[in-house]
Amino acid sequence: MSFFGDLGNSLGSGGFLGKLFGGGNDAAEDASKYYDQIAGVLKDYLGPYAERGNQVYPGLQQQYSQLMNDPNAMLSKFGQGYQQSPGYQFQVNQATGAANNAAAAGGMLGSPMHQQNTANMVNNLASQDYNQYLAHVLGLYGQGLGGEQGIYNSGAQCQEI
């Protein structure tokens, strides 16, 4: 017999590979026993991810629905927690002190124009502080929403398997 014939006999159904997969005559049939078990094993390992994705979905859907239907209500809700930042009052004191010194040097201290300029400056600082607060809150909200979306996506992908 030739080398390739001997190799085929040793690897075939009666040889090494045949014995490895159960010694049957049909290697595909023997392999299918293991192949058919893959789905069950994957479900055991991926099931918790799919379950977590299903748990996250209702809250995620609610958040997206609120954002789409009434973004002003969401923004208002975020704004309710606003408090002046620790540095806000310091900035106001520094700015008004500098404005008062400049107005006094020019002989305008206490004038209506000085008062209006000071009020505008304080208003701008307050607006800046509030907008920074909103930027931080919206950033955190977006990060949380993105995290939930990631958990949901992972769970949805696990269910497809």
Q: What is the pLDDT of residues 21-62, one digit of tens each?
A: 555 567 778 788 888 888 787 788 888 888 888 899 999 999
Please give the tally of structural domains in the chain: 2
One domain for residues 53 and 10? no
Range of the domain at 5: 1-36
Burial of 118 (0-12, 13-18, 19+ CB in 10 A): middle
pLDDT at 38: 82
More confident site: 93 or 36? 93
- The answer on 28 and 3 residing in a single domain is yes
pLDDT for position 155: 84
The residue ranking higher by pLDDT, 148 or 38, is: 148
Q: At a CB cut-off of 8 Å and minimum separation 6, what does 151 contact?
A: 52, 53, 56
Q: What average pLDDT does the segment 67-93 reach?
A: 93
Residue with tokens 């009020």: 119
Place of tokens 């992908």: 157
Interacting residues of 57 by C-beta distance below 8 A, sequence separation 6+:
152, 155
Q: Are residues 28 and 53 in the same domain?
A: no
pLDDT attached to residue 31: 80
Same domain, yes or no: 69 and 32: no
pLDDT of residue 39: 79
